[in-house]
Structure 1
Amino acid sequence: MNCGHSISGEFCAHCGQKADTARITIYSLIKNDILGSIWHVETKFLHTLKNILFRPGTTAMDYISGKRIRYNNFISLLLILFGFNVLTYHFYRKFAPPEELTDDVLDMMNFISKYSKTILFVIIPMLAFNAYFLFKRIKLNVAEHFIIGTVSLLGILILFLLSDIVSLIGLWKPVEKIFNIIDKILFGLSILFPAITYWTAFKNSYSKPGLLWRVSVLYVLMVLEGTVISLILYEIF
């Protein structure tokens, strides 16, 4: 083994290297190093996205409790999804009809495009600190609430990405109406996603009324804080 330790199983308990160190052949290169790596990365990536979208609270609590091997790193995933969102946004702006891009719409899009990274990455610590005080019974620290906030933002970015794709397809006139409806549904879900995340994460720790008022206060705080930050950015820059 690379680390010099002896092993008795399939993997080295000290460094994690596989016990199988047979010669590399064309077959093993294609099967294990190329196709195996691609399949592992893609399945883990899609598994993480699926769980964040459909089991956000459970996924966050699994990650906090140490069940992390099945998921992609959430921060890396955040950067990847942010990049995809920027890409689809530019495609929409390029292909959208000029009549849809009024001055007000363009001003808003320019503001969001310019400061989206600042706004998005401020959301996580805001969620973390607000939730830390609102859900104190759970006894999670701020860093653990940071993970839940990250999962909330990841879900929003997934829905935004789907919305951008739907908007691009909706530029084709024969399907415009139905895709506009789907786009509105996705937008509504993105607004509700933090509530879904915290509700599914803490539903066994609070009564429904107790959870409802805490999530409602969380939203009020987020709206107030988000408005202040947006106004500061708009005034300064």
Structure 2
Amino acid sequence: MNPICKNCEHEINGNFCSECGQSTHTHPINFHYLWHDIQHGVFHFDKGLLYTAKELFTRPGHSIREFIEGKRVSHFKPTSLVFLLGSFYGLLYHFFHIKLPTHLINGNSEQASDIIGDWITAHYALATLLTIPLLSIASFLAFRKTGYNLVEHLVLNGFIAGQKLILQFIFFPLLYIYSRTQTILLLSGISMLIDILLAFWTYNQFFDTQSTLKNIFKTILTYIYFFILFAILTVVISSTLELFIKKA
């Protein structure tokens, strides 16, 4: 006789209930259950996070394309990946008081740069997530003949954002050591260069039906489109804030 689902009381034939999806194996609520729930539900360490991190630095474009095509069980979802890593990185940045040397920032007072830095630190995950739509529109325009829709580009660039955040964790000890010195600007530049090279590699693997030369050109075009869109958005936000301040 087949077991009965403890959730909906339907007969089960297999490892999961065909009616509600609950597993046949319901473990007792104890510390082992709690630890497994934290691993699986919050960090998904048993498969998703570590597996996705490995894939993003060994075969990024291929693994992202496989995710879009339906191979998703082992992957951590891109939005959750960015939000989790971005939130944790923002906490680290705030806790260790990482700051750029304000006397080297041209055109901004120390107070203004602190305000901007504090906002980004407090909302690092949100700030990272907000760049994804702009980059996705840019890559969609640059690679528009490859057949992928805008939402699929959002997934692609979401994973790339997660890839960049993982790289930031690798650089974090050096940022802490050289915080408030000129060296931190050099480290930021090196990190940005590696980000761009990783993006070239990822796009080239993802759009593997095109030549490498064409993918390099279209990746450059993606970043040109992105900076244009970012500049337009910055002007709009600045103008809106100025009008708001004047009315206030």
Counterpart residue number, 1:110: 115
Q: 1:161 aligns with which of 166, 169, 172?
A: 169
| Cα distance change of structure 1 residues 165 and 109 upon mapping to structure 2, 3 Å threshold | farther
Point out which structure has higher relative CO (alpha carbons under 8 A, 6+ apart). 1
Judge conservation of contact 2:141–2:222 (CA < 8 Å) in 1: no
SS of the counterpart of 2:234? helix
Counterpart residue number, 1:217: 221
CA deviations over 1:46-98 (Å, ceiling 9, x no partner): 2222323443322321221111111222212211222122222223436x6x9
Counterpart residue number, 2:60: 56
Counterpart residue number, 2:24: 19
Judge conservation of contact 1:61–1:201 (CA < 8 Å) in 2: yes
User: Aligned equivalents of 1:82 and 1:229: distance in 2?
Assistant: 22
Judge conservation of contact 2:78–2:159 (CA < 8 Å) in 1: yes
CA deviations over 1:147-191 (Å, ceiling 9, x no partner): 0111122222222333333311446xxxx98x9976654332123
Judge conservation of contact 1:131–1:145 (CA < 8 Å) in 2: yes
Equivalent positions of 1:221-232 (< 5 A) are 221-232=225-236
SS of the counterpart of 2:162? helix
Question: Percent identity between the aligned chains?
Answer: 22
Judge conservation of contact 2:12–2:18 (CA < 8 Å) in 1: yes
1:137 aligns with 2:145: yes
Q: Which has the higher helix share?
A: 1
CA deviations over 1:11-65 (Å, ceiling 9, x no partner): 223322222357x3xxx8344x134334442233222223234433223212211
1:205 aligns with 2:216: no
Counterpart residue number, 1:42: 45
1:187 aligns with 2:188: no
Give unmatched runs, 5+ long, in structure 1: none
**TM norm structure 1:** 0.76
The structural deviation recorded for 1:137 is: 3.5
SS of the counterpart of 1:102? helix
Judge conservation of contact 2:203–2:219 (CA < 8 Å) in 1: yes
1:29 aligns with 2:30: yes
CA deviations over 1:106-142 (Å, ceiling 9, x no partner): 5445325436666533322222222223223331211
The code of the aligned residue for 1:161 comes to F
The code of the aligned residue for 1:13 comes to S
| Cα distance change of structure 1 residues 150 and 13 upon mapping to structure 2, 3 Å threshold | same
**TM norm structure 2:** 0.73
Give unmatched runs, 5+ long, in structure 2: 242-248
SS of the counterpart of 1:93? coil
The code of the aligned residue for 2:195 comes to S
User: Aligned equivalents of 1:163 and 1:180: distance in 2?
Assistant: 12
Counterpart residue number, 1:9: 14
User: Aligned equivalents of 2:146 and 2:96: distance in 1?
Assistant: 42
| Cα distance change of structure 1 residues 110 and 164 upon mapping to structure 2, 3 Å threshold | farther
| Cα distance change of structure 1 residues 102 and 91 upon mapping to structure 2, 3 Å threshold | farther
The code of the aligned residue for 1:225 comes to L
| Cα distance change of structure 1 residues 103 and 209 upon mapping to structure 2, 3 Å threshold | closer
